[in-house]
Structure 1
Amino acid sequence: MNYKINELFETIQGEGSFTGQPSIFIRLQGCPVGCSWCDTKHTWDIELADQVSPEVMLNKTEETVQWANFSAEDVLALVKDKGFQAKHIVITGGEPCMVDLTPLCAALEQQGYSTQIETSGTFEIITTEKCWVTVSPKINMRGGYKVLASAMSRANEIKHPVATEQHIDELKALLAQHKVVNTPIYIQPISQKKRATELAIASCIANNWRLSVQVHKYIGIE
């Protein structure tokens, strides 16, 4: 099975439970959800005209729509060839759960890597048992997709971007609908602006949730 990869790089995880963890990010191409604040809109569309060789994709110096096909074995070979030291791998997008991630995660886990998926919760999550699933539920987005009960029940953590009280209300309704009780809840300001951050902090204190502040953006890394 081949995966359409837009980026593959080593950095520090800046969000959620693994904040500060050295990580290898695999960014897949394709997402129909349509979040207005998305900071990776270049990964939305899958166009055959944008397919390039793995070498061209890996040598990109800026964000582009270009993607390349990689098998799980190709990914493992590349990680070793690059000399990456991180043992945690984050599969994101785009919307990674548009495809079956089991072959990729299984191959990585067999080589001693831990795996994590970051998903909107609007597609069935098909992966290994060991994989850590971060659901960032996208509610009432332009694409019209619904957050799935199966995704909410599979989530190891829920990470919700907020800018307004409406976002908080939508999350509370979603948690009540799916009877989420013990899953860690992270609230993440959509921007680094004071108002959004203050709302996130107040909501965390009021509801015993946790704060995620996108550390990578504050320290200026990818």
Structure 2
Amino acid sequence: MILKELSISEIFHSIQGESSFAGWPCAFVRLAGCGNGCNFCDTTYAETDGFMLEIPDIIMQTQAFRAPIIEITGGEPLLQPAVYPLMQQLCNLGETVLLETGGFLSVDKVDSRVHKIIDLKPPSSGVCERNCPENITLALHAGKKLSQTFEFKIVVASREDYDWAKALLLQHQLYCSCIVMMGVIHEKLEPSTLAEWILRDRLPVRMQLQLHKYIWPLATRGT
């Protein structure tokens, strides 16, 4: 059976708000469906069913934006098997492809050319115990081959979250193998507070803000 359709929540053109690609114009393909129930989720609308679209139509719509990068996100994009041929075909066309995933599922089947942005959910998320440890193992292994296609994102809401993240990073020395981005839950923790913690601990991470929420503070979709 050839997988060729995906359930889509929205396809839009915006500024990449997070990750090491923050600031770049980006074509986003937001897939529908998740169900992981993270606290502070800011895309709950993507948990419901979307509209079905075939892979060639998705590619046509994203390429029409003529953006330098294309991101596949959700919801949880890895729940839909057809996402794998979509990413592969985009890579074959020479596109720079990002995958942003909640970190609950392994990225072992994702095309090696795709830049994988993987969440590590802290305690305040309510789903911390569901982080997929295999993704850390995969990133550490890829780092030995000088791969630049893994990065991890940790968004914290409290000192407890930060201490959890620091312990995890030090345990695995994850920052030695790939980029680690750390930010705050919008309006739950002051960015200056996180910056002070990072500087005081000499923690080798890149701090980020959710850029799109400062550009379009009242928008709920399409950013």
- For the aligned pair, the TM-score class normalised by the smaller chain equals 0.7 to 0.9
How many percent of aligned residue pairs carry the same amino acid? 30
Cα distance, 1:179 vs. partner? 4.6
Would you say 1:115 and 2:109 are equivalent positions?
no
Cα distance, 1:192 vs. partner? 4.2
User: 1: CA distance between counterparts of 2:186 and 2:20?
Assistant: 19
Alignment deviations for residues 57-112 of structure 1 (CA, whole Å, 9 cap, x no partner): xxxxxxxxxx11123212112234xx311031111111112233320111111112
Whether the aligned pair in 1 keeps the contact of 2:24 and 2:68 (CA below 8 Å) is no
Contiguous gaps of at least 5 residues in structure 1: 47-66
Code of the aligned partner of 2:34: C
User: 1: CA distance between counterparts of 2:175 and 2:209?
Assistant: 23
Whether the aligned pair in 1 keeps the contact of 2:72 and 2:99 (CA below 8 Å) is yes
Would you say 1:200 and 2:191 are equivalent positions?
no
Cα distance, 1:210 vs. partner? 1.1
Cα distance, 1:15 vs. partner? 0.9
Cα distance, 1:138 vs. partner? 1.8
Cα distance, 1:199 vs. partner? 2.5
Cα gap change, 1:7 to 1:154, in 2 (>3 Å): farther
Q: 1:151 aligns with which of 135, 138, 148?
A: 135
Whether the aligned pair in 2 keeps the contact of 1:11 and 1:22 (CA below 8 Å) is yes
Whether the aligned pair in 2 keeps the contact of 1:135 and 1:152 (CA below 8 Å) is no
Cα gap change, 1:94 to 1:145, in 2 (>3 Å): farther
Whether the aligned pair in 1 keeps the contact of 2:119 and 2:152 (CA below 8 Å) is yes
User: 2: CA distance between counterparts of 1:70 and 1:143?
Assistant: 30
Alignment deviations for residues 11-51 of structure 1 (CA, whole Å, 9 cap, x no partner): 110112001111101111111221111111111244xxxxx
Query: Following TM superposition, where does structure 1 have runs of at least 4 consecutive aligned residues deviating by more than 4 angstroms?
Result: 140-145, 176-179
**What TM-score does the superposition give when structure 2 sets the normalisation length?**
0.80
Cα gap change, 1:169 to 1:25, in 2 (>3 Å): same
Would you say 1:94 and 2:89 are equivalent positions?
no
Cα gap change, 1:44 to 1:173, in 2 (>3 Å): farther
Whether the aligned pair in 2 keeps the contact of 1:204 and 1:210 (CA below 8 Å) is no
Cα gap change, 1:151 to 1:71, in 2 (>3 Å): farther
User: 2: CA distance between counterparts of 1:209 and 1:15?
Assistant: 14
User: 2: CA distance between counterparts of 1:36 and 1:146?
Assistant: 13
Residue 186 of structure 2 corresponds to which residue in structure 1?
191
SS across alignment from 2:33: coil
Residue 105 of structure 1 corresponds to which residue in structure 2?
87
Cα gap change, 1:149 to 1:178, in 2 (>3 Å): farther
Code of the aligned partner of 1:112: G
Would you say 1:173 and 2:167 are equivalent positions?
yes
SS across alignment from 1:174: helix
Alignment deviations for residues 156-185 of structure 1 (CA, whole Å, 9 cap, x no partner): 111111120111122123334545242222
Moved more, 24-33 or 145-154: 145-154
Code of the aligned partner of 2:84: T
Whether the aligned pair in 2 keeps the contact of 1:73 and 1:107 (CA below 8 Å) is no
Cα gap change, 1:174 to 1:144, in 2 (>3 Å): closer
Residue 44 of structure 1 corresponds to which residue in structure 2?
47
